[in-house]
Amino acid sequence: MLVVMQAHATEEQVQAVCEKIEKLGFRAHAIPGAQRTAIGITGNSGAIDSGMLDEMSGVQEVIRVSKPYKLVSRDVKEESTVVSFPGSDGTFGGRDLGIIAGPCSIESREQAFAVAERVAKAGARFFRGGAYKPRTSPYAFQGMGEEALKIMAEIRDRFGLLIVTEALDYESLDLVADYADMIQIGARNMQNFSLLRRAGKLRKPVLLKRGMSATLEEFLMAAEYVLSEGNYQVVLCERGVRTFADHTRNTLDLSIVPAVQKLSHLPIMVDPSHGTGKRDKVLPLSRAAVACGADGLLIEVHHDPDHALSDGAQSILPDQFDELMGEIRQIAAVVHRHVQDPQPAGAMAKAVR
């Protein structure tokens, strides 16, 4: 159910409706829009007697949301959500594309700093690096854990980059939330409902990757778990799905970008690194992702990919990342978007205030 407030409804009227909903035993989600505030109701298994809310002052109408996902839907919020970060100009979902770049895994301080310096210079605002890695084999490199989080915190101070890293489970979620600016929930965890709920209790942006066989509806429902707990800062990420095609690691499903944008107000970005698994495919699919309207890119970059401890084959070199940024800057202009200019060395430190 959705309570649509009148355009001139006061804060107090919105508050009173929220209190009424909570008193009835449900959860109220006030979602301010450009024209009016909408209040999403969750926690109800069926329809609520709308008469109780219809008559309250400031209420325009009470409508049923027929789709299974509610809070992520454009029915509830017409304007696109812009996910922003206090003290930084980095955003997802606005005119600026959110560019996340860095190695698959943090392997050492030297490696992380070498890559961070280059991606910051190239104009990325977000640095990624795995500290806890979801590996297919239990014998493969599992990540450096908290030590990697500390290295990334230093990188934020040194280069002014916002930090994005994956939480694998409850324990790592708490630690990642302490250090990172944005919490990644990986493809393998897209339907780990208890983890999604816990991420929903945090007040830090969540980067939610599409499961490797998830439908659009399952993807949106996963995001709904996070929003239903009160965390509305979610960025979706297409990273390829499994198909019969074997010329790439996964099949990058770019058509999900306009499909998400039609149904949901949440930003949707694209990861051509995991989406293709092949270094030489990352640049062409990045161009295509920006052209089709993606709100950002996630790119794996490594200064010595042949010796990377994970995902070397899909990691591009810093020089290739420079080229990628130059090209998507031009494509972004065509679709009325913008990518930050390259940064002179001196301008980088302390960009995060």
By the criterion CB under 6 A, which residues form the site for ligand PEP? 104, 130, 134, 186-188, 209, 239, 274
Query: How many C-alpha atoms does 42 have within 13 Å on its Cβ side?
Result: 18
Angle ∠(99,319,160) on CA atoms, nearest 5: 40
For residue 274, count CB atoms less than 10 angstroms from its CB and return exposed for 0-12, middle for 13-18, buried for 19 or more. Answer: buried
Lay out the site mask for Mn ion across 128-167 (x = CB under 5 A, - = otherwise).
----------------------------------------
Q: Does 116 bind Mn ion (CB under 5 A)?
A: no
Q: Which two tokens stand for residue 335?
A: 């679709």
> Which CB atom, from 40 or from 130, has the smaller least distance to ligand PEP?
130
Q: Does 107 bind Mn ion (CB under 5 A)?
A: no
Q: Which does 281 bind (CB under 5 to 8 A by kind): Mn ion, ligand PEP, none?
A: none
Closest approach, Cβ 301 to ligand PEP, in A, equals 12
- In the chain the first and final C-alpha atoms are separated, in Å, by 40
In contact, 310 and 135? CB cutoff 8 Å: yes
Closest approach, Cβ 38 to ligand PEP, in A, equals 32
Query: How many C-alpha atoms does 119 have within 13 Å on its Cβ side?
Result: 35
**Which residues, numbered 259-318, are part of the site for Mn ion (CB under 5 A)?**
311
> Which CB atom, from 295 or from 311, has the smaller least distance to Mn ion?
311
Reported in sequence order, the residue ranges of 90-238 that DSSP labels E, i.e. its strands, are 91-92, 98-102, 126-128, 162-166, 182-185, 206-209, 234-238
Angle ∠(169,82,154) on CA atoms, nearest 5: 55
Closest approach, Cβ 292 to ligand PEP, in A, equals 19
> Which CB atom, from 109 or from 188, has the smaller least distance to ligand PEP?
188
Q: Which does 239 bind (CB under 5 to 8 A by kind): ligand PEP, Mn ion, none?
A: ligand PEP
Q: Does 96 bind Mn ion (CB under 5 A)?
A: no
Would you tell me which residues interact with Mn ion (CB under 5 A)?
A: 104, 311
